Structure 1
Amino acid sequence: MLPEAKASLSAEQIRLHERLAILLAFVAGYMDATGIIKWKTYVSFMSGNTTQLGTSLSSGKWGIIMTSVTVIGCFLLGIYAGTCLAVWKKCKSKTISFYLVIFLLIIYSVVSYYHQIPAIPSIAIIGFSMGIMNTIVTSVGNQKVNTDFVTGTLNSLAKNTALFSMTNDQEERKMYGSNAIHLLLLWLGFLSGAFVLPLVISSLGSWILLFPVLILLICAVWINKSAIPI
């Protein structure tokens, strides 16, 4: 949902953005848990990777340095690509970012079924995909959100809750309360994705990424059938 400068949104748009943000947060949590379990690297939590990079630079752990630099760089490239797609005036598709991520995850799953893909190219592809996904929904109502950034979500949740409790203006209380609920649901979405991954990883095996592919495909079809712009 770029660029950010949008006029006031309808209630239908806000509901659509909220549902999409929750589903994308679920996918991000699922993928982050996948990265931790399979490659000991976050694929959407760049604060953690930056911390690992800093500590590894001081101790000379070159393996962690390589994986951290790779995933951070590819995540940034994904955000760059997703933002360019969102503001590209010649592109009329509302769901091109969804389908690009779906394509990357399917190709990765098929190749990994037949061949063992090393950690570096794995986190490069997944990190790039998560960067693109991070640009799809950037606000719910008047509240900016980041479906991959849990620290920012919790920070905004606490601030909106504090502002809700400190104001006596009913319109402000309604706005801050609504923002807090959106942010709480976003956090729960991410938490749920991380919770589900360990439950299905043994049964899905090499096809573990097809679960988020299915969710993203449902989102894309849902948007295409809806007359509401994202």
Structure 2
Amino acid sequence: MDNSVIKTNPTISSDSIKMQERLAIFLALIAGYIDATGLIQWKTYVSFMSGNTTSLGAALSTGKYGIIITSITVISCFLIGIYAGTCLSLWKRIKNQILTFYLVSGIVIFYSIIDYFYDINNLLSIAVVGFSMGMMNTIVTSVGNQKVNTDFVTGTLNSLARNTAMLNMTKDKDEKEEYKSNAVHLLLLWIGFLSGAFIAPFLLDYFGKWTLMIPALLLMICGILISKINTKN
């Protein structure tokens, strides 16, 4: 069966699925916010690697070396971020993903403070933020057994359309409920990303170089709250 449409494992509790969904939407909103900020400030996507790959291909054929360097930098750092985040998630000493919250938040906070006082150049900014976005993309990779990506929307929209099509085509009642649930999760994820991108320009005008402190602090607070919830349980 295609990985974009997988039936939910009955052993996964509804409470866990709801927590995953809310967290995925929150992270998608953060990703949309940071991606829009990167596009406005540096004319580069820091999480949408499909767009950067297209830009890289076009730049290679036209000899636009500035775009080539920028695209290779952000794509490489994003991949390294995913690699690092995945290694952390598989590390036996790490019981949950809370550390990744703190690391991403800490990197962005540290970057914002340094950039405020020393004006970091665009290429280094793209590298740091791209790496952070790659790490953040590894925090939530599924809602139930539905695979999701919180940092980019092409796969989300593809899975949304597929689940919607299967919802309309199947006659099985249980399958209809499953596909409907998946479609709702994916739609909310897309809306979360869109909302973050919508908000970013307004807050960028108001906060300037401190604008990335907002998602960084939200990630920090979210990590603390989840840590407390896990402790109680």
1:6-45 → structure 2 map (5 Å cutoff): 8-45=11-48
Q: Structure 1 stretches (4+) deviating beyond 3 angstroms?
A: none
Query: Could you tell me which residue of structure 1 aligns to residue 63 of structure 2?
Result: 60
2:175 is paired with a residue of what secondary structure?
helix
Q: In the aligned structure 1, how far is the partner of 2:10 from the partner of 2:178?
A: 17
Query: Could you tell me which residue of structure 1 aligns to residue 119 of structure 2?
Result: 116
- 1:71-120: CA deviation from partner (whole Å, max 9, x where unpaired): 00000000000000000002245301000001100110100110111011
**Which residue, out of 154, 169, 173, partners 2:176?**
173
Question: Is the contact between residue 89 and residue 96 of structure 2 (CA under 8 Å) also seen in structure 1?
Answer: no
Identity %: 61
C-alpha RMSD of matched pairs (Å): 1.5
Q: In the aligned structure 1, how far is the partner of 2:106 from the partner of 2:190?
A: 26
Q: In the aligned structure 1, how far is the partner of 2:11 from the partner of 2:138?
A: 20
Q: In the aligned structure 1, how far is the partner of 2:111 from the partner of 2:10?
A: 39
Question: Is the contact between residue 141 and residue 149 of structure 2 (CA under 8 Å) also seen in structure 1?
Answer: yes
Query: Could you tell me which residue of structure 2 aligns to residue 218 of structure 1?
Result: 221
After superposition, the Cα gap between the structure-2 partners of 1:150 and 1:169, relative to the gap in structure 1 and judged at 3 Å, is: same
Q: In the aligned structure 1, how far is the partner of 2:177 from the partner of 2:123?
A: 46
1:87-106 → structure 2 map (5 Å cutoff): 87-106=90-109
2:230 is paired with a residue of what secondary structure?
coil
Residue 196 (str. 1) matches residue 199 (str. 2)? yes
1:226 is paired with a residue of what secondary structure?
helix
Q: In the aligned structure 2, how far is the partner of 1:128 from the partner of 1:227?
A: 27
Q: In the aligned structure 2, how far is the partner of 1:197 from the partner of 1:90?
A: 36
Cα shift at 1:7: 8.1
- 1:160-192: CA deviation from partner (whole Å, max 9, x where unpaired): 001011111110000000000000000000000
TM-score after normalising by structure 1 = 0.94
Question: Is the contact between residue 32 and residue 45 of structure 1 (CA under 8 Å) also seen in structure 2?
Answer: yes
Q: Which 10-residue stretch deviates more, 77-86 or 211-220?
A: 211-220
Q: In the aligned structure 2, how far is the partner of 1:212 from the partner of 1:203?
A: 15
Query: Could you tell me which residue of structure 2 aligns to residue 3 of structure 1?
Result: none
Q: In the aligned structure 1, how far is the partner of 2:224 from the partner of 2:112?
A: 21
Query: Could you tell me which residue of structure 2 aligns to residue 205 of structure 1?
Result: 208
Question: Is the contact between residue 97 and residue 139 of structure 2 (CA under 8 Å) also seen in structure 1?
Answer: no
After superposition, the Cα gap between the structure-2 partners of 1:193 and 1:104, relative to the gap in structure 1 and judged at 3 Å, is: same
TM-score after normalising by structure 2 = 0.93
Q: In the aligned structure 2, how far is the partner of 1:7 from the partner of 1:221?
A: 29
For structure 2, the 5+ residue unaligned runs are: 1-8
2:76 is paired with a residue of what secondary structure?
helix
